[in-house]
Amino acid sequence: MNSKAIIALVMTLSAVAAVPAYAAQLEFDCDVPADHFSSVSQDVANGGSVSGTIRMYEMRNGNNLPVVGAGIFSPEKRAIAEFQLVASDTHAQSFDIIFSVNHDGDAKREKVGEVDASSAVAFNIFLSATGKAVLNVNGGEFQSDASAISGGRAMAFCSTAQFKFTNLIFSANGNGSGD
């Protein structure tokens, strides 16, 4: 191989390495018995995002309420930016939207709205490399300061129910705008 070919190969490999890693679009049938938990996740660096659509199929009676959500977690498995859709009981007609952030050890959790339990819910949760958390749910946007992380996991999860995630996409870094 001549020197021009080697330089071209190195430049090509450098360009490929600089492109942010994105997982393929997934479908995740999160179908768990009462009081059990299931998740799918991907490593992230400098923040990241999870987006997709959630639809509820069945809520189950148990010691824990049916819940579904997604978030960005630190290497210590602490939620840095997370949202949950929480049912008040197994016959609930709506879910509370709970937005949680952790900013320098100060955890904040608040109800930011409600969604119809029988409708599909589009979402995107984003954590920037600088610690800006942005949640979009069915067109509503919520923002908060959060801790910046240099690594961790983006995760989609559910408990005590059957929810289906479609168009599920993980972004491995938080260098974008969150849109």
**pLDDT for 151-168, tens place per residue?**
899 999 999 999 999 999
Helix (H) / strand (E) element for 32: namely none
3-state secondary structure of 3: helix
Helix (H) / strand (E) element for 18: namely helix 3-18
Q: Which long-range contacts (CB under 8 A, 24 or more apart) does 64-67 make?
A: 64/34, 64/35, 64/159, 64/160, 65/89, 65/160, 66/90, 66/92, 66/158, 66/159, 66/160, 66/161, 67/158, 67/159, 67/160, 67/161
Token code pair at residue 88: 């008040």
Would you tell me how many other CB atoms lie within 10 Å of the CB of residue 5?
A: 9
What are the two backbone dihedrals, phi and then psi, of residue 10, each rounded to the nearest 5 degrees? -65, -40
Per-residue pLDDT, 175: 61
Residue 16 pLDDT grade (very low, low, confident, very high; cuts 50, 70, 90): very low
pLDDT in tens, 72-84: 999 888 889 999 9
pTM of the model as a whole? 0.83
Residue 45 pLDDT grade (very low, low, confident, very high; cuts 50, 70, 90): confident
Chain-wide mean pLDDT for the chain?
86
What average pLDDT does the segment 62-75 reach? 95
What average pLDDT does the segment 32-45 reach? 95
Residue 23 pLDDT grade (very low, low, confident, very high; cuts 50, 70, 90): low
Residue 10 pLDDT grade (very low, low, confident, very high; cuts 50, 70, 90): very low
